[in-house]
């Protein structure tokens, strides 16, 4: 837990955030680190105020997606496509260190708000653009979505069951990677600006970040000419073609058990599992006698033994819950087990509770306080702070346009009427 | 000044495998000097992971290791040896940043934990990354990347409703944790620039990675709804999926997010009359008839080559991309245009393609890969002599007493 009075890492910086979707995570991370991040929505409200919704009430102000990725930011509405909106945006840029955006390449140039235009009014500005394929190149104008970007990174091909289409992770990830890269790129550019006084343009490609999780899959092809085939979670041994089952059904779902032999720490872990099964009278004699070093060595074993072990283990796991297998198996008996957790298991996780992970934010407008995922990292001297819930539409219009830019109430009303704010 | 961002910044990298090493790559690609502290007695898991260049498994020929470590220097020190710990201290004295990713308590055991380091180097920025963090009942839980992907909920929501979950391949959450770690390092540097103060950054990869799954977690905590896997479907689009093309295991991803894209899709599949049909007019209606729409899409894609399908859909304005295979990305015209793969000559592996860690290009100080991944202990002389100012005699002493390791204790063994 942190002290409210502790300093933050990034308070000197103001970031204007024009992003949507998962890319909004980038500004959120900078806001958690203490930067003053201003979310700019179109006057009608952002299309990223999507479901699921608070208490299932379909209302853009109750979007959990919006809440999750815009907490700690302030928010204004502004139509940068209109001339007066552009002027106001430029006034804001004058006081900002960086701008984050994820429009189609060329859109800001078309509005005369591109990097060169912003440099004219603020030469050391950092402009960070997060797009599916980057600003230039043969795919710059490809129509894309989170799923199609994921497909372009080849990681999708490595995931899913072998007898069906590859499958993504059910909650879209590519935009979040793009947002995180945008935050790192922005801070790298700000560091450079602090050294040299020179701003620059940051061009993020979400395709490139979608290549990242491939572990060694790309190199297996490039170096050895081996094409990786998805296995729905089984362990595949390329030299023998054997698939070792590691996911097992249990009473209330699934667990992963890294049942392997040949090497430590797997031999001991597998032996401890058999011992536990034996204590429960669920280990067949052949399994008790199995030599994990020699008989279950991935480089020499055959498929029948893998299947036989898998079946015996699953007969046992079916008698236990995820929590029992995790607490007694993994934590107490030191077997390499991980529960396949769902959102309830995560919410009830003992470790997260013990580290006081969850943070609450007041939603005074709803007369409620809401639990959020806690600090993404612990910083001893500049702890991440949870200061405010995500902004309502135009919540800080008066504060920012009125108090900071000194725009009169009459003028604000007229801008509102014209649909600019 | 050659225009690089982190010129002069020094990182002592005790971290191994993926999370820490990938985080420091953001700095290395923009000019920082990163020294990996390795040992012949405790090999980085990735050095034993396939693929091996020329199909010859050696400690210096894994491109799984290579992929995660270009731009870095490697020294080989036995940290269990008291004189090895002295060398480690010299590196810590030299460094601005220390990273480590051992099980909690390991660095402390060697007298290299943050509290020890802080006493002598209060300005150090020290990153500790572990699977479940310091303290708490699961702190000592064995940390494999494959475990975290299950703990974080990603496995549960991957695959099909009528099948077991199909876990995302490999160490998925490592690639999330890496990015948050890098951002925290740069932010801590920025704070230090203003205040002179260093700090300890402590990462639980579990806690970090949940941010990539936050809305479904809130949906459970507020609404009691547990998210389930559902193939490639997505509540905000229909059709939305991965469909078969001609040939074996060829797939294309298609996403229809709004009414305009729906009309475009009907054009692309040459059935413009469908755009007039009421039962498909809005997203809720298309969601209701999603089975039909998916069948329609698959019937159309099945008769087409991958490139053909992608071209027709793109021309009509429908988000789409072939599901790239590993071989495809090496030929991807966009990645070529951005200079994504960088060929480098490696002393043992020969010519290899390296990938940048940063998915961004800075206009004035672009990312750079300027040296291949290091061989184990390749830079002992350079680091101890040129960076730390030790003399030949001292170095020879460390080699003689084994605190600088030079040989594997046994035969090289492939771990994965």
Residues of chain A in contact with residue B360, where contact means CB-CB under 8 angstroms, are 128, 181-182, 184-185, 188, 202-205
SS3 B293: helix
Domain check: are A208 and A108 in the same one? yes
Question: Tokens at residue B9, please?
Answer: 């910044």
Euclidean distance between CA atoms A184 and B273, whole angstroms: 47
Residue A320's H or E segment, with its range, is none
Judge whether A224 lies within some domain.
no
Report pLDDT digits (tens) over A75-130.
999 999 999 999 999 999 999 999 999 999 999 999 999 999 999 999 999 999 99
Q: Is the pLDDT of residue B80 over 70?
A: yes
* Residue in B55, B202, B217 closest to A378 by CB: B202
Domain check: are A372 and A320 in the same one? no
CB atoms within 10 A of CB A279: 9
**How many residue contacts between A and B have a Cβ separation below 8 Å?**
496
Of all residues in chain A, the one with the smallest CA distance to B191 is A9
The pLDDT score that the predictor gives to residue A215 is 95
The answer to whether the Cβ–Cβ distance between A166 and B251 falls below 8 Å is yes
- Mean pLDDT over residues B152-173, rounded? 96
SS3 B328: helix
Judge whether A226 lies within some domain.
no
Q: What is the CATH number of the domain that holds A84?
A: 3.40.50.10540
Task: Name the domain count of chain A.
Answer: 2
Report pLDDT digits (tens) over A381-406.
999 999 999 999 999 999 999 999 99
Report pLDDT digits (tens) over A127-167.
999 999 999 999 999 999 999 999 999 999 999 999 999 99
Residues of chain A in contact with residue B257, where contact means CB-CB under 8 angstroms, are 145
Domain that holds residue B350: 10-212+338-400
Last residue of a domain, one of A325, A347, A369: A347
Euclidean distance between CA atoms B74 and B59, whole angstroms: 13
DSSP A104: P
Nearest residue to B20 via CA among B150, B269, B203: B203
Domain check: are B157 and B286 in the same one? no
Annotate B115-171 with DSSP letters as a single string.
HHHHHH-TT-EEEEEESS-SSSTTTT----HHHHHHHTTTTTTBB-TTS-B-PPSSS
Is the Cα torsion angle A45, A51, A52, A53 positive or negative in sign?
positive
The pLDDT score that the predictor gives to residue B194 is 96
The pLDDT score that the predictor gives to residue A5 is 76
Of all residues in chain B, the one with the smallest CA distance to A163 is B249
Domain check: are A315 and A255 in the same one? yes
Residues in contact with B295: Cβ distance below 8 Å, sequence separation at least 6, in sequence order:
none
Of A226-240, B28-42, B157-171, B328-342, least confident by mean pLDDT is A226-240
Strand partners for B230: B232
B111 Cα to chain A: minimum distance (Å): 20
Euclidean distance between CA atoms A211 and A228, whole angstroms: 14
Residues of chain A in contact with residue B51, where contact means CB-CB under 8 angstroms, are 216, 219-220, 222-224, 226
A239 — pLDDT class (breaks 50, 70, 90): confident
Domain check: are A331 and A269 in the same one? yes
A1 — pLDDT class (breaks 50, 70, 90): very low
Task: Name the domain count of chain B.
Answer: 2
Judge whether A389 lies within some domain.
yes
CB A22 within 8 A of CB A178: yes
Q: What is the CATH number of the domain that holds B24?
A: 3.40.50.10540
The pLDDT score that the predictor gives to residue A3 is 56
Q: Is the pLDDT of residue B3 over 90?
A: no
Question: Tokens at residue A96, please?
Answer: 């900002």
Strand partners for B158: A169
Domain check: are A209 and A294 in the same one? no
A413 Cα to chain B: minimum distance (Å): 33
Which residues between 289 and 348 in chain B have a beta carbon less than 8 angstroms from any beta carbon of chain A?
A: 313-314, 317-330, 332-335, 337-338, 340
CB B252 within 8 A of CB B309: yes
Of A175-179, B83-87, B244-248, B407-411, least confident by mean pLDDT is B407-411
Tokens 């346009």 belong to: A401
Q: Is the pLDDT of residue A38 over 60?
A: yes
The answer to whether the Cβ–Cβ distance between B180 and A156 falls below 8 Å is no
A398-419 burial: b if 16+ Cβ within 10 Å, else e? eebbeeeeebeeeebeebeeee
Residues in contact with A141: Cβ distance below 8 Å, sequence separation at least 6, in sequence order:
A104, A105
Question: Tokens at residue A172, please?
Answer: 């879209």
- Mean pLDDT over residues A186-193, rounded? 98
Q: Is the pLDDT of residue B352 over 60?
A: yes
- Mean pLDDT over residues A254-262, rounded? 93
Q: Is the pLDDT of residue A257 over 70?
A: yes
Domain check: are B291 and B392 in the same one? no
Report pLDDT digits (tens) over A46-62.
999 999 999 999 999 99
The answer to whether the Cβ–Cβ distance between B168 and A340 falls below 8 Å is no
Last residue of a domain, one of A347, A369, A398: A347
Judge whether A219 lies within some domain.
no
Report pLDDT digits (tens) over A160-170.
999 999 999 99
The pLDDT score that the predictor gives to residue A234 is 85
Last residue of a domain, one of B314, B330, B346: B330
Domain check: are A254 and A317 in the same one? yes
Of A29-43, A184-198, B141-155, B400-414, least confident by mean pLDDT is B141-155
The answer to whether the Cβ–Cβ distance between A151 and B232 falls below 8 Å is no
Percent of chain B with pLDDT over 70: 99
B396 Cα to chain A: minimum distance (Å): 34
Q: Is the pLDDT of residue B141 over 90?
A: no
Domain check: are A155 and A185 in the same one? yes
Residue B283's H or E segment, with its range, is helix B283-288
Which residues between 25 and 84 in chain A have a beta carbon less than 8 angstroms from any beta carbon of chain B?
A: 25, 29, 33, 50-52, 54-56, 64-65, 67-69
Q: With an 8 Å Cβ cutoff, is A240 touching chain B? A: no
Q: With an 8 Å Cβ cutoff, is A204 touching chain B? A: yes
Q: What's the whole-number average pLDDT of chain A?
A: 96
The pLDDT score that the predictor gives to residue B415 is 73
Q: Is the pLDDT of residue B87 over 90?
A: yes
The pLDDT score that the predictor gives to residue A196 is 96
Euclidean distance between CA atoms A31 and A84, whole angstroms: 28
Residue A415, preceding bond cis, omega within 30 degrees?
Answer: no
Domain check: are A166 and A25 in the same one? yes
Judge whether A1 lies within some domain.
no
Give φ, ψ of A131 to 5 degrees.
-135, 165
Domain check: are A74 and A152 in the same one? yes
Residue B371's H or E segment, with its range, is none
CB B352 within 8 A of CB B69: no
Domain check: are B250 and B190 in the same one? no
Question: Tokens at residue A257, please?
Answer: 């058990």
Which residues between 334 and 353 in chain A have a beta carbon less than 8 angstroms from any beta carbon of chain B?
A: 334, 336, 338-347, 349-352
Question: Tokens at residue A251, please?
Answer: 């009473």
- Mean pLDDT over residues B334-344, rounded? 98
CB atoms within 10 A of CB B156: 28
Question: Tokens at residue B82, please?
Answer: 């008291």
CA B377 to chain centre: 24
Euclidean distance between CA atoms B415 and A263, whole angstroms: 8
Residue A265, preceding bond cis, omega within 30 degrees?
Answer: yes
- Nearest 5°: the CA angle B9, B15, B21 is 65
Which residues between 59 and 98 in chain B have a beta carbon less than 8 angstroms from any beta carbon of chain A?
A: 63-64, 66-67
Domain that holds residue A324: 233-347
Judge whether A88 lies within some domain.
yes
B1 — pLDDT class (breaks 50, 70, 90): very low
Domain check: are A281 and A184 in the same one? no
Distance set, CA A39 to CA A73, A80, A378, B379 (Å): 6, 13, 25, 47
> Which residues of B participate in catalysis according to the annotation?
174
CB A226 within 8 A of CB A217: no
Domain check: are A48 and A196 in the same one? yes
Which residues between 146 and 165 in chain B have a beta carbon less than 8 angstroms from any beta carbon of chain A?
A: 146-148, 150-160, 163-165
Domain check: are B64 and B126 in the same one? yes
Euclidean distance between CA atoms A127 and A130, whole angstroms: 10
Q: With an 8 Å Cβ cutoff, is A220 touching chain B? A: yes
Strand partners for A75: A39
Last residue of a domain, one of A347, A370, A391: A347
Residues of chain A in contact with residue B195, where contact means CB-CB under 8 angstroms, are 7
Distance set, CA B175 to CA A27, A176, A370, B168, B354 (Å): 19, 12, 28, 12, 17
Residues in contact with B82: Cβ distance below 8 Å, sequence separation at least 6, in sequence order:
B403
Q: Is the pLDDT of residue B2 over 90?
A: no
Euclidean distance between CA atoms A78 and A82, whole angstroms: 9
The answer to whether the Cβ–Cβ distance between A170 and B320 falls below 8 Å is no
């Amino acid at each position: 837990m942190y002290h409210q009075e502790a300093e933050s890492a990034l308070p000197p910086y103001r970031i204007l955030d024009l992003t949507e979707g998962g890319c909004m995570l980038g500004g959120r991370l900078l806001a958690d680190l203490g930067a003053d991040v201003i979310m700019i929505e179109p006057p009608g409200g952002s299309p990223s105020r999507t479901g699921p919704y608070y208490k299932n009430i379909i209302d853009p102000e109750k979007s959990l997606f919006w809440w999750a990725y815009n907490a700690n930011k302030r928010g204004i509405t502004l139509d940068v496509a209109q001339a007066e909106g552009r002027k106001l945006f430029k006034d804001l840029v004058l006081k900002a260190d960086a701008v984050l955006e994820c429009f189609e390449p060329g859109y800001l140039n078309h509005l005369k708000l591109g990097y060169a235009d912003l440099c004219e009014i603020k030469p050391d500005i950092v402009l960070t653009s997060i797009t599916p394929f980057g600003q230039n190149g043969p795919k710059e104008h490809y129509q894309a979505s989170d799923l199609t970007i994921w497909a372009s990174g080849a990681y999708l091909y490595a995931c899913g069951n072998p007898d069906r289409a590859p499958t993504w992770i059910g909650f879209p990830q590519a935009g979040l990677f793009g947002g995180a890269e945008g935050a790192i790129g922005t801070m790298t550019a700000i560091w450079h600006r602090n050294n040299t006084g020179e701003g620059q343009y940051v061009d993020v490609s979400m395709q490139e970040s979608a290549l990242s999780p491939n572990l060694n899959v790309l190199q297996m092809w490039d170096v050895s000419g081996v094409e990786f085939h998805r296995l729905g979670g089984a362990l595949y041994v390329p030299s023998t073609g054997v698939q070792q089952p590691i996911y097992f059904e249990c009473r209330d779902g699934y667990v992963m058990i890294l049942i392997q032999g040949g090497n430590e720490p797997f031999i001991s872990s597998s032996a401890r599992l058999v011992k536990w099964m034996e204590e429960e009278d669920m280990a067949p004699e052949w399994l008790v006698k199995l030599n994990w070093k020699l008989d279950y060595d991935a480089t020499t074993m055959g498929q029948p033994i893998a299947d036989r072990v898998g079946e015996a283990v699953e007969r046992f796991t079916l008698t236990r819950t995820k929590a029992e297998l995790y607490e007694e198996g993994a934590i107490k008996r030191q077997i390499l087990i991980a529960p396949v957790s769902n959102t309830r298991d995560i919410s009830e996780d003992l470790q997260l509770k013990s580290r006081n992970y969850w943070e609450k934010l007041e939603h005074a407008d709803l007369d409620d306080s809401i639990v959020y995922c806690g600090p993404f990292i612990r910083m001893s001297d500049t702890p991440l702070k949870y200061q405010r819930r995500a902004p309502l539409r135009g919540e800080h219009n008066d504060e920012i346009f009125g108090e900071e830019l000194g725009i009169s109430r009459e003028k604000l009303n007229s801008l509102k009427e014209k649909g600019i704010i | 000044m050659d225009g690089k961002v982190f010129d002069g910044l020094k990182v002592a990298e005790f971290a191994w495998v993926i999370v820490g090493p990938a985080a420091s790559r953001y700095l290395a690609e923009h000019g920082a000097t990163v020294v990996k502290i390795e040992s012949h007695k405790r090999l980085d898991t990735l050095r034993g992971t396939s693929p091996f260049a020329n199909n010859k498994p050696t400690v210096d020929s894994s491109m799984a290791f290579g992929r995660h470590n270009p731009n870095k220097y490697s020294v080989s020190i036995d940290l269990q040896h008291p004189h090895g710990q002295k060398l480690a201290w010299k590196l810590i004295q030299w460094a601005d940043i220390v990273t480590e990713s051992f099980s909690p308590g390991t660095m402390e055991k060697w007298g290299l934990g943050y509290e020890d380091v802080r006493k002598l180097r209060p300005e150090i920025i020290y990153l500790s990354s572990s699977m479940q963090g310091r303290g708490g009942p699961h702190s000592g839980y064995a940390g494999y990347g494959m475990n975290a992907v299950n703990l974080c909920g990603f496995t549960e929501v991957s695959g099909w409703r009528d099948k077991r979950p199909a876990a995302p391949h490999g160490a998925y959450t490592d690639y999330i944790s890496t990015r948050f770690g890098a951002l925290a390092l740069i932010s801590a540097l920025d704070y230090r620039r203003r205040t002179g103060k260093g700090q300890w950054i402590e990462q639980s990869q579990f806690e970090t990675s949940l941010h990539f799954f936050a809305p479904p977690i809130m949906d459970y905590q507020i609404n009691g709804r547990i998210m389930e896997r559902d193939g490639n479907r997505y509540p905000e689009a229909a059709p939305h999926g991965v469909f078969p093309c001609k040939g074996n295991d060829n797939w294309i991803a298609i996403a229809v997010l709004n009414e305009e894209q729906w009309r475009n899709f009907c054009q692309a599949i040459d059935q413009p009359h469908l755009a007039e049909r009421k039962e498909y007019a809005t997203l809720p209606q298309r969601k209701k008839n999603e089975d039909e729409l998916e069948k329609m899409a698959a019937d159309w894609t099945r008769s087409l080559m991958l490139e053909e399908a992608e071209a027709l859909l793109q021309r009509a304005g429908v988000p789409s991309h072939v599901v790239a295979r590993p071989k495809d990305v090496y030929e991807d015209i966009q990645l070529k245009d951005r200079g994504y793969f960088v060929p480098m000559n490696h002393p043992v592996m020969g010519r290899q393609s390296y990938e940048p860690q940063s998915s961004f290009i800075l206009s004035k100080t672009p990312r750079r890969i300027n040296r291949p991944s290091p061989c184990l202990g390749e830079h002992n002389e350079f680091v101890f002599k040129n960076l730390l100012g030790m003399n030949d005699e001292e170095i020879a002493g460390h080699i003689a007493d084994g605190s600088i390791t030079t040989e594997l204790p046994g035969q090289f063994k492939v771990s994965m």
